[in-house]
Structure 1
């Protein structure tokens, strides 16, 4: 029996490649043949998965972090000249201490600096992954770094963060340095939210980034106002994905970027769909199986494709929203398994050593089940 293991990272505890290595080891110990594929969908861990798959190399760069400080970050340069920039590695929530998370003051400026760095290092295509941001500045920081003219009534440059949006009275995209560069821009995301509105960037994602109810109302008002003074932002305000990364999606669209589903893009680059017909069983999963998983994240994208090929899919996770089991089954997942064998605190379950043991445990159970008929 041949098995494909393609499990996304358990965010905050273990990356995709290590999860798949643990699973493969346990399955191979029972005589099963395993193909490993790292998995991501545009969020945290995307560029590491590309690098681990040996289709890209790590390029380090010094950029401005989410709080305005200089940091050492990195992006992935693929062999075809495509640079993949993961904003979670620059201005993502994991990069900022919980007590300092506040989108009123966090900036996307470093994303623009990373784009410039990649262009200077020969990138002909730039891909920006929009998951995991700590920002809500509509990409104003990135645009400033790229030379877009953004000024106040007194023609002064604006400060960083969402709090500075109210000072903006003029946006001129014609001064952007990418406009005279022979480079294409792509964004990948796993969310379909518009720029503003009840399902937009601020109201849906602002609270988890540190915004108060009063902040939400004020920033939403300013984003709507920006769309009235910038026809190009207004053009893309309702485009699915424009609200990704605190509106960074809209800023990228305004620069001419194409937008793609993160899971589909990643599976194409790793040739995961081409691998599924070669195996009997697929093991996938992520840290938590919930409504967001069903909205188009990588495990469900894999399951739906496998379903068309009559391949069995097992999904593993740290936790599972059991009320959604019928929906997971309908998507093509045959079995949803929690890796946690008994009572554990959240801190225990998230620790690297414990999560390694938990994944090893569930892998042994899966291996036992898959080899049952041979015993």
Structure 2
């Protein structure tokens, strides 16, 4: 029996590669053949999953972090010349101390620096994974790093963070770096929010990143004003995904980027459909199986395709919204299993050592079930 393991990371706990290694080890001990595909959907862990799944090269770089300091980061360079930049590795929320998390001051400048670095390394295509940002600067920092002129009434460059948006009076895309010419840019995200409005970047994601209700009202006003300064931002502000990463999505679209759902992009890049056709069963999952899973995240995309060719899917997770079990089953998941063997606090469950034990436990149960004598 041949099994595909393609489990996404348990965010803040254990990486996709680590999970799939544990599952594969236990399955192999029972004599099962295993194909591993570490998984992501554009958020935290995207680069590591790509490197582990495709043998892409890890390219280290020094860029500006979310708080304006210089940091060590990296991106993936695939063998076809595609550079995949994960913003969570540059201006991601988990990279900042909890008392420093405020989109009023965080910047995407380092994303632009990483793009330039990749171009100098010979990249022929730039892919930006937009999940997990600590920013709400509408991508202004990234645009500045790429040569776009963003200035105030005194013709001074805009400062970092959403707090500086109110001072911006001029945006000129014609000054962008000539290195961007003829370089295709793609954006992958599992977020479909527009830039503005109650379901836009600021009101939906701002509070998670540290904005107060009053901050959200002020920043939203400035984001809308900013769009009126240039036809390019105005043109794309209502495009699904424009609100991803605190509006970084709309800045990428203004540069000519095409936007893709992270799960579907990964399915294609990792050739998951072809692999699913070759196996007898699939094990997938993520930290929490809930309504967001059903919105098109990687595990459900796998399940839907597997269902179309009658391949069984087992999903594992730290927690499961049991009210949605019927929806999971309808999507192609045959069994939903929690990795928790007993009562644990959240703090206990998300530690690396406990996560490893929990995933080992459930993997042993799955391996035993899959090798149970058939009559």
C-alpha distance after superposition, 1:74-97 (max 9, x if no partner)? 000000111000000000011111
C-alpha distance after superposition, 1:42-75 (max 9, x if no partner)? 0000110111124310000000000000000000
- Output the CA distance in 2 between the equivalents of 1:218 and 1:179: 35
In the other structure, the counterpart of 1:197 is 197
Q: Is residue 302 from structure 1 mapped to residue 293 from structure 2 by the alignment? A: no
C-alpha distance after superposition, 1:123-174 (max 9, x if no partner)? 0100000000000000000001111001111111111001111111111001
- Output the CA distance in 2 between the equivalents of 1:137 and 1:255: 16
In the other structure, the counterpart of 2:320 is 320
In the other structure, the counterpart of 1:34 is 34
- Output the CA distance in 2 between the equivalents of 1:97 and 1:266: 30
- Output the CA distance in 2 between the equivalents of 1:303 and 1:144: 41
In the other structure, the counterpart of 2:170 is 170
Q: Is the 8 A contact 1:64 1:110 kept in 2?
A: yes
In the other structure, the counterpart of 2:20 is 20
The structure 1 segments of at least 4 consecutive aligned residues displaced by more than 6 Å after TM superposition are none
Give, in angstroms, the shift of residue 322 of structure 1: 1.4
Q: Is the 8 A contact 2:119 2:179 kept in 1?
A: no
Where in structure 2 are the equivalents of 1:137-152 lying within 5 Å?
A: 137-152=137-152
Q: Is the 8 A contact 1:27 1:367 kept in 2?
A: yes
C-alpha distance after superposition, 1:230-278 (max 9, x if no partner)? 1110100110100000000000000000111111111211111101111
- What are structure 1's unaligned runs of at least 5 residues? none
- Output the CA distance in 1 between the equivalents of 2:340 and 2:133: 28
What's the TM-score once normalised by structure 2's chain length?
0.98
In the other structure, the counterpart of 1:81 is 81
Q: Is the 8 A contact 1:146 1:178 kept in 2?
A: no
In the other structure, the counterpart of 2:247 is 247
- Output the CA distance in 2 between the equivalents of 1:371 and 1:180: 53
Q: Is the 8 A contact 2:54 2:270 kept in 1?
A: no
Where in structure 2 are the equivalents of 1:320-359 lying within 5 Å?
A: 320-359=320-359
C-alpha distance after superposition, 1:164-194 (max 9, x if no partner)? 1111111100101057533111110011100
Q: Is residue 129 from structure 1 mapped to residue 129 from structure 2 by the alignment? A: yes
- Output the CA distance in 2 between the equivalents of 1:371 and 1:47: 34
Alpha-carbon spacing, 1:49–1:93, altered in 2? closer, same or farther (3 Å):
same
- Output the CA distance in 2 between the equivalents of 1:98 and 1:304: 38
- Give SS of 2:50's match: helix
Alpha-carbon spacing, 1:69–1:180, altered in 2? closer, same or farther (3 Å):
closer
In the other structure, the counterpart of 2:364 is 364
- What are structure 2's unaligned runs of at least 5 residues? none
Q: Is residue 185 from structure 1 mapped to residue 199 from structure 2 by the alignment? A: no
- Output the CA distance in 2 between the equivalents of 1:198 and 1:120: 40
Q: Is the 8 A contact 1:242 1:253 kept in 2?
A: yes
